A = this chain, B = another copy of it.
């Protein structure tokens, strides 16, 4: 029982305590969310309803943000991956710049500390489409420059790992690109 007894229990909506059993469940679901609750419980040392109950709770609390299918980039016509560093005049977090999230090519938007203000992860069909996307980013007010890092090969790309609780199957250390 790794209970966190800090006494005061106010009406905090998200109960974010993740115990060892939850971590085991997450460890399975992060690799394959198509398993049945029976199998999931078996792998985590729980009965099916118990596993289900905990998973439901983690979904409610936000510990599991969502369960999604990961599409193959090439199959959907976006084989070109790039990271774009965006420099802006002033503080870059403007609504106009955040509006780039409406481009389906943009998968991630972060503000970063370093020599760049904003970092984008973008996926396009080819270099021409990337050029077009960059042109639209340049059109955004406040943007002064961009630097693009075009990905040649991707060797690892996986969701958030819930941390090591016990033995962990070594990830297939890719000496060959997965894309």
Is the beta-carbon distance between A160 and B10 smaller than 8 angstroms? no
**Minimum CB–CB distance for A124 against chain B, Å:** 11
CB of A90 within 8 Å of the partner chain: no
Interface members, chain A 132-157 (any B CB < 8 Å): 147-157
Contact with B along A64-106 (1 / 0, CB 8 A): 1111111111111110010101000000010100110110111
A173 and B26: CB pair below 8 A? no
Contact B106 A156 (CB under 8 A): yes
Q: Give bound CA distance, A151 to B147, whole Å.
A: 17
Cβ of A166 < 8 Å from any Cβ of B?
no
- Asked, given contacts A83-B119, A171-B101, A172-B7, whether A152 binds B70 with beta carbons under 8 Å apart, the answer is no
- A21: Cβ under 8 A from any B Cβ: no
In the complex the two chains form, is A65's CB within 8 Å of B70's CB?
Answer: yes
Whether A76 pairs with B106 at a CB distance below 8 angstroms is no
B75 touches A114 (CB 8 A): no
Interface residue A131 (Cβ < 8 Å from any Cβ of B): no
Closest to A23 in B: B76
Let me know if A76 and B156 touch, CB within 8 A: no
- The 8 Å CB contact of A112, one of B105, B114, B151, B158, is B151
A76 in contact with B18 (CB, 8 Å): yes
Question: With contacts A72-B160, A111-B152 known, what are 16 further pairs, Cβ within 8 A?
Answer: A30-B71, A31-B66, A32-B66, A63-B75, A64-B72, A68-B70, A76-B160, A76-B163, A98-B155, A99-B173, A107-B158, A108-B154, A110-B151, A110-B152, A111-B155, A112-B150
Closest 9 A/B residue pairs (Cβ): A29-B69, A63-B75, A109-B156, A104-B161, A114-B149, A109-B155, A112-B149, A76-B162, A110-B151
